[in-house]
Amino acid sequence: MKPDLSQRLFGLEFRNPVLAASGTFGNGEEFTDFYDVSRLGGFVTKAVTPERRTGNPSPRIIETPSGMLNAIGLQNEGLDSFVRTVVPRLAGMDTVALVNVAGRTVDDYVRVCAELDAHAPVRAFEINISCPNVKEGGVAFGSCSSSAAPLVAAVRKATSKPLVIKLSPNVSDIAGIARAVEESGADGVSLINTLTGMVVDVERRRPMLANVTGGLSGPAVRPVAVRMVWQAARAVSIPVIGLGGIFSARDALEFLIAGASLIQVGCGMFVKPRLPLEVIEGIDEYLCRHGFGSVSDIIGSLRVTED
Amino acid sequence: MREYEAGIIRIEPRGPSAYAIDLECRGLADDAVPGQFTQVRVSDGTDPFLRRTFSISGADPESGVVRLMVDVVGPGTRLLCGMRPGMAISCIGPLGRGFDLAAGHDSRACLLVAGGVGVAPLLLLAARLRAKGDRDIHFLMGGRSSDHVSMAEDPALDGLSVVYATEDGSRGERGYVTIPLESSLREGRFGMLYACGPHPMLKAVAGMARAFRVPCQVSLEERMACGIGACLGCAVKLANGRVVRACSEGPVFDAEEIAW
């Protein structure tokens, strides 16, 4: 019998646990030459801010060992354009679209969520309190519980749609922050966003990125991500979405077993555009091979002690 | 745009550090237009991680063969150029917006200006301009030394007049390619200028094109991650203040569009 890959979380039906991560999938149209987006469990849009943002100067990306640094800087066309041009297209996509929301102030986040609350194709929000590449907002909110909790509470009042809070790994107590956003009304958490990093051009004695620092992603960060997902999943009772360096089905299974209910693939898709499908097929194969009837059977199934 | 498994047919040296790589790739050969590029996976593992970006230098729909010009500049290009005929590599493409071959030059002459490995897209452009009947094509090739201009020794340019300029004077005129460019532009008979090379060179070329009132198309060499428009890593600032993607809105732009 075919294993059941579907998941029902925060009132939404995901056909499988594999989503495309924000900032790596455009607004769901760049990969349509490779496959239909309806094959995915869902995807997260590029971050939306109230106003149009032109992002950081170039160079914005640099390759690193088994990964990359990026400092895009939340480039997007702004809320009005998103409502006008992207939301109608989301309506035609047969998959769960989460909108990633960012801003400089609490008010920015509230404004975006309140406006999009009325639009049915927006199924849930991923609140980005973890972007390391902007001067104001972003990770400034996500680096401690005392700034994250009030933001989540304010956004909670602005929308009835599910709220997933995207957490930063650049913190000392991930479990504490996960608990704080849960208590403030979050329906789920996703982690990890990128790790702040830096590469130096030694010949020119200059930073390789115009922004000096950037966010590290790719297979290099995966063990850090799996550890943090495990810690967060033990700390909260809301669903955890795991991401960070997934490059195969085996990688995705690590996150599921460590406690993630869903996973996201990110920059691995730049190298293997069909990676989400490879992961879905590989999870299916794993469940068959181990005799599990449903993906739910393995979520959080990590055995830490001998039994 | 699709992902192809392309078979390596041959890898020929073009000077001490550059190679012409011929691939069996029917899809790219059929569909690529000059100025478009492909994203090539150089390793099965995760290091090097990202695909490498190469302009398409040759695309022959008859034989199904695609040519890439690769300058060995780091571990990724070294791996690629160390591969053997018979091996297969994954190529995504054709990507990006190419040159406009119809614009500008009616029956007038056109000028192609290359800097180093920037010759890559101009080889296919020269071949296609000739195929469409343009006879009066002038090619200027610049680089650091004679080692860095040998990529212009390609069958695509056979029979064309190629003027060389090298910074150390080891081949052709001594100095930047903008020196022969200025002499050519003074002739006043060119209806279109096409250029590809490093940013400072393109900026200088764009300035001269403007001064001589010759329309100019440039192909930008930007570092890319995804190459398909998803990551916004290859941002280009336009004169009108907008920020666009080199991989999708480019890599070819009208020189007047760019905020140099």
At A147-191, the pLDDT tens digits run 999 999 999 999 999 999 999 999 999 999 999 999 999 999 999
CB contact under 8 A, B3 and A34: yes
Determine which of A35, A61, A194, A202 to mutate to test the interface with B (most B C-beta atoms within 10 Å): A61
Q: Return d(Cα B33, Cα B218) in angstroms, integer.
A: 15
Determine which of A45, A58, A211, A247 to mutate to test the interface with B (most B C-beta atoms within 10 Å): A58
Q: Annotated catalytic residue: which of A131, A144, A267, A288? A: A131
Q: What's the pLDDT at B135?
A: 74
Q: Are the beta carbons of A81 and A52 closer than 8 angstroms?
A: yes
**Type of residue numbered A160:** S
At A72-84, the pLDDT tens digits run 999 999 999 999 9
Q: What's the pLDDT at A285?
A: 98
Residue A140's pLDDT band (cuts 50, 70, 90) = confident
Is residue A306 predicted with pLDDT exceeding 90?
no
CB contact under 8 A, B48 and A269: no
Q: Return d(Cα A129, Cα B225) in angstroms, integer.
A: 24
At B223-244, the pLDDT tens digits run 999 999 999 999 999 999 999 9
Please tell me which of the candidates A23, A218, A271 has its beta carbon nearest to residue B41: A271
- A chain contacts of residue B223, beta-carbon cutoff 8 Å: 59, 61-62
Q: What's the pLDDT at A1?
A: 78
Name, in order, each residue with C-beta under 8 angstroms of A10's C-beta and a sequence gap of 6 or more: A124, A162, A164, A187, A188, A239
Q: What's the pLDDT at A307?
A: 62
Q: Return d(Cα B16, Cα B14) in angstroms, integer.
A: 7
CB contact under 8 A, A70 and B225: yes
Give the percent of chain A with pLDDT over 70. 99
Residue B92 host element (H or E): strand B88-95
Q: Which two tokens stand for residue B79?
A: 């791996």
Which residue of chain A is at minimal alpha-carbon distance from B236?
Answer: A58
Q: Return d(Cα B160, Cα B126) in angstroms, integer.
A: 9
Residue B107's pLDDT band (cuts 50, 70, 90) = low
CB contact under 8 A, B49 and A273: no
Which residue of chain A is at minimal alpha-carbon distance from B227?
Answer: A270
Q: What's the pLDDT at A153?
A: 97
Q: What's the pLDDT at B214?
A: 94
- B chain contacts of residue A247, beta-carbon cutoff 8 Å: 46
Q: Return d(Cα A129, Cα A141) in angstroms, integer.
A: 5
Q: Return d(Cα B66, Cα B56) in angstroms, integer.
A: 7
Catalytic annotation present for A131: yes
Within 10 angstroms of residue B127's Cβ, the number of other Cβ atoms is: 21
Cα end-to-end distance, chain B, whole Å: 30
SS3 B11: strand
At A118-138, the pLDDT tens digits run 999 999 999 999 877 777 677
Q: Return d(Cα A278, Cα A110) in angstroms, integer.
A: 37
Q: Where are the alpha helices (DSSP H) in chain B?
A: 26-31, 75-81, 119-131, 178-186, 199-211
CB contact under 8 A, B1 and A58: no
CB contact under 8 A, A58 and B235: yes
**Closest among A238, A287, A285 to A262, alpha carbons compared:** A238
Q: Return d(Cα B122, Cα B217) in angstroms, integer.
A: 11
Q: Return d(Cα B258, Cα B256) in angstroms, integer.
A: 6
Residue B105's pLDDT band (cuts 50, 70, 90) = low
Which residue of chain B is at minimal alpha-carbon distance from A60?
Answer: B233
B46 vs chain A: nearest CA distance in angstroms?
5
Pairing relationship of beta strands A240-243 and A262-265 according to DSSP bridges: parallel
- A chain contacts of residue B242, beta-carbon cutoff 8 Å: 54
Q: Which residues pair with A195 in a beta bridge?
A: A216
At B159-216, the pLDDT tens digits run 898 999 999 999 999 999 999 999 999 998 899 999 999 999 999 999 999 999 999 9
Please tell me which of the candidates B2, B49, B226 has its beta carbon nearest to residue A218: B49
Q: Which strand ranges, in their side-by-side order, compose the sheet holding B109-115?
A: B173-174, B161-166, B137-143, B109-115, B190-197, B216-220, B252-254
Q: Which two tokens stand for residue B241?
A: 């203040």
A63 vs chain B: nearest CA distance in angstroms?
7
At B41-96, the pLDDT tens digits run 999 999 999 999 999 999 999 999 999 999 999 999 999 999 999 999 999 999 99
Is residue A139 predicted with pLDDT exceeding 80?
no
Name, in order, each residue with C-beta under 8 angstroms of A145's C-beta and a sequence gap of 6 or more: A173, A176, A177, A179, A180
Q: Return d(Cα A228, Cα A226) in angstroms, integer.
A: 6
A196 vs chain B: nearest CA distance in angstroms?
17
Q: What's the pLDDT at A131?
A: 75
